[in-house]
A = this chain, B = another copy of it.
Amino acid sequence: MNNKLRLGILGGGGDSLIGVLHRVASSMFDQYQIIGGCFNPNPKENKEFADSIGLNPNRVYDTFEIMIEEEMKLPQNERIQVVSVLTPNFLHYPMAKKLLENGFHVICEKPLTTTHADALELQKIQKEKQTAFAVTYTYTGYPIVRQMKEMIRKGVLGKIQKTDMQYYQGWINPIIHDKSLRNSIWRLDPKKAGISSCIGDIGTHAYHMLEYLTGMKVKQVLSDLNHLYSDNELDIDGTVLVRFSDYSKGVIRASQIATGEENGLTVAIYGDKGGFRWEQENPNFLKYFTNDKPLQILKPGHPYLSEFSLQDTKLPPGHPEGIFDSMGNIYNGVARKIKGIDNFEGAFPTLEEGVRGMKFIEKVVESNAKGNIWLSL
């Protein structure tokens, strides 16, 4: 029997983009074999999709509950080992909970849950079960992001004194100014999207990246959010002041009304010895600043990079990594964890990180609602 991990998938059927992303990512290091799952709530479409991607129909299930029940009946060396949860947000919690309770490893799309309380509950179960659990903050998988993390960890930037994260998109601009559109889109409906649009969807990525890279925890936040229209219940833009300490301060800027911006996640981090700037849309170029030497541009695949960064670079320098590679590296991290292969700290975003993400969203919304005041995280 081969040593690939047996992977199940919940959601991601049909034309789902996120489904493609996870399937390709799972294939990148030959670590996983997709075995089955439940891709679609419609049983017929579920079967058809599973067939189209070449799965054995016996392992395709009508519901996630049935999947868990049936898989548990199989001998351990046949049973699905890891399950990717790609369903709408409100389903993450019940699915992840039941998977954890039955000892499955989980790879869960973000946001982890719809409330911080639910997230804490998952964390509690996982601590008991000791399974692997990844939350797919996708952008952390780029080789250059991993290089930043390692260099900061090793002190190359010195003590961090200033951080500035941006996540600017413009996609909601054509929608927000049209009353009927903005009142009908699910992303702006609190019942479906939760308490936040911009911060919940993308601000949380920027926040996670900030803590991921610096290895520090934000202590306090003060936010100023924008809804543009009074009949729009959710934020679509916001600036969050953050403090790691009195010494080290920062800002997180997020927007869905930055007209024309595509997916503008950017990083700027400065320590007393050096600084970094990086842009997700140009992910293979890292600007590294110092006080007195020329600006350096670090690119993936070179021997001058850290082992962590090189581990997940698959081709020689000059062969661009893309977003699939980034997610592939997260899958690789999870596989290495499960297989007990030596792994780097930060190889995949953990459940704890997902939990903090939920807390961040709640506190940012609260700070704004209370008149832009500081709240502890």
Contacts and interface: CB of A to CB of B under 8 A. Distances in A.
A281 B325 contact: no
B164 A253 contact: yes
B263 A318 contact: yes
Contact of A319 (B24, B274, B323): B323
A61 interface: no
Contact of A169 (B257, B272, B283, B318): B318
A318 B264 contact: yes
Contacts of A255: 162, 270
Interface stretch (A47-55, A67-75, A118-126): A47-55
A263 B320 CA distance: 10
A201 to B, nearest CB: 13
Interface string A143-171: 00000000000000100011010001111
Nearest to A169: B318
A23 interface: yes
A189 interface: no
Interface residues of A, number: 91
A4 B317 CA distance: 33
Contacts of A323: 315, 319-322
A262 B320 contact: no
A299 to B, nearest CB: 7
Interface stretch (A77-85, A107-115, A180-188, A287-295): A287-295
A260 interface: yes
Contacts of A177: 272
A307 interface: no
Contacts of A133: none
Interface stretch (A91-99, A210-218, A220-228, A350-358): A220-228
Given A162-B237, A226-B249, 4 more contacts: A174-B292, A259-B272, A261-B318, A263-B319
Q: Which 10 A-B pairs have the closest CB atoms?
A: A260-B289, A263-B318, A322-B322, A262-B318, A27-B27, A295-B297, A262-B317, A294-B296, A2-B54, A259-B275
